[in-house]
């Protein structure tokens, strides 16, 4: 899981009991991704890699600049899939009930250990946490859970050229080129051309239904990644990190 960045003392993946047993952490951060194709050129683990790297950098920033200590858990790797993705080899789809049970068990464990603040850093658009968090608020009224989608906190158009950039496109490719350049061969990428959905209200974002991936894309990508660069990815994530860090700080100081 180590990205193109220094090892973080707030990344549980790299830490041990000897180092953390006497520390106090105000916030727990949970990255949540998916295992799925991302065009031809990005790893199946892209959503996990990016949510974890951004979460760790944000926790570092919160400690160094805002005085709040947070621990980042290993990412939950399985995210909800659309039809057409799920039929691709090794694309894993957990049911909503499965994801909810995982979150409930994580919260129950943390609650017993005395933690009261959790931030979910979501890396996959198919994941839906609001109903889960609402239910948990009744069971654990003094345990606060916030969720954020790291790639939505700033407007894409300020950083990237592609008009459509939903999945495996310029944004994700640029961020992966920044964090994990050794995993990316952009020359193998498809164009990520998105075919219109056959229901106008869904196409115009006035209604929603899960789209069958095979009907809207040939390469599993939604958005052209060809103009991606590590420089664009670096600028975007470096501007996102202080925003997420501020949320960590607000959550930890309450």
pLDDT in tens, the chain (254 residues): 666 667 899 999 999 999 999 999 999 999 999 999 999 999 999 999 999 999 999 999 999 999 999 999 999 999 999 888 888 999 999 999 999 999 999 999 999 999 999 999 999 999 999 999 999 999 999 999 999 999 999 999 999 999 889 999 999 999 999 999 999 999 999 999 999 988 999 988 899 999 899 999 999 999 999 999 999 999 999 999 999 999 999 999 86
How many domains does one find in the chain?
Answer: 1
Condensed to tens digits (0 to 9), the pLDDT of residues 28-56 reads 999 999 999 999 999 999 999 999 999 99
Return all residues near 251 (Cβ < 8 A) that are at least 6 apart: 26, 27, 117, 119, 144, 146
Helix runs in the chain, H state only = 17-20, 46-66, 96-112, 130-139, 170-179, 200-203, 213-216, 230-253
Q: Is residue 15 part of a domain?
A: no
Angle at 75 between CA 74 and CA 76, to 5 degrees: 125
- CATH number where 185 lies: 3.40.50.10310
Q: Is residue 159 part of a domain?
A: yes
Is the CA virtual torsion 43, 46, 49, 53 positive or negative? Answer: positive
In this prediction the pTM is: 0.96
Alpha-carbon span 123 to 145, nearest angstrom = 16
Q: Is residue 114 part of a domain?
A: yes
Return all residues near 62 (Cβ < 8 A) that are at least 6 apart: 27, 68, 69, 70, 245, 246, 248, 249, 252
Q: Is residue 8 part of a domain?
A: no
Condensed to tens digits (0 to 9), the pLDDT of residues 207-234 reads 999 989 999 999 999 999 999 999 999 9
Q: Is residue 121 part of a domain?
A: yes
Q: How many CA atoms lie within 13 A of 119 on its CB side?
A: 31
Structural domain that includes position 232: 24-249
Q: Is residue 17 part of a domain?
A: no
Q: Is residue 19 part of a domain?
A: no
Q: Is residue 254 part of a domain?
A: no
Q: For residue 231, is it left (φ>0), alpha (ψ between -120 and 50) or beta?
A: alpha
């Amino acid at each position: 899981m180590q990205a193109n960045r220094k090892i973080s003392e707030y990344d549980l993946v790299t830490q041990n009991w000897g180092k953390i047993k006497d520390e106090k952490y105000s916030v727990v951060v949970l990255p949540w991704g998916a295992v799925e194709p991302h065009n031809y050129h990005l790893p199946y683990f892209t959503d996990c890699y990016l949510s974890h790297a951004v979460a760790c950098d944000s926790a570092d920033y919160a400690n160094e600049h805002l005085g709040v200590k947070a621990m980042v858990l290993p990412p939950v790797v399985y995210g909800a899939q659309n039809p057409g993705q799920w039929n691709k080899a090794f694309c894993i789809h957990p049911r909503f009930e499965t994801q909810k049970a995982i979150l409930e068990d994580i919260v129950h464990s943390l609650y017993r250990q005395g933690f009261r603040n959790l931030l979910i850093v979501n890396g996959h658009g198919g994941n839906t946490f609001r109903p889960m968090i609402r239910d948990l608020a009744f069971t654990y009224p003094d345990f606060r859970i916030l969720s954020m989608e790291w790639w939505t906190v700033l407007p894409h158009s300020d950083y990237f050229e592609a008009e459509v950039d939903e999945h495996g496109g310029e944004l994700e490719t640029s961020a992966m080129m920044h964090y994990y350049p050794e995993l990316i061969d952009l020359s193998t990428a498809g164009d990520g051309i998105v075919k219109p959905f056959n229901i106008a209200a869904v196409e115009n974002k006035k209604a929603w239904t899960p789209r069958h991936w095979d009907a809207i894309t040939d390469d599993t990508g939604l958005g052209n990644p060809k103009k991606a660069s590590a420089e664009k990815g670096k600028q975007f994530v470096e501007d996102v990190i202080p925003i997420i860090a501020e949320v960590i700080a607000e959550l930890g100081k309450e």
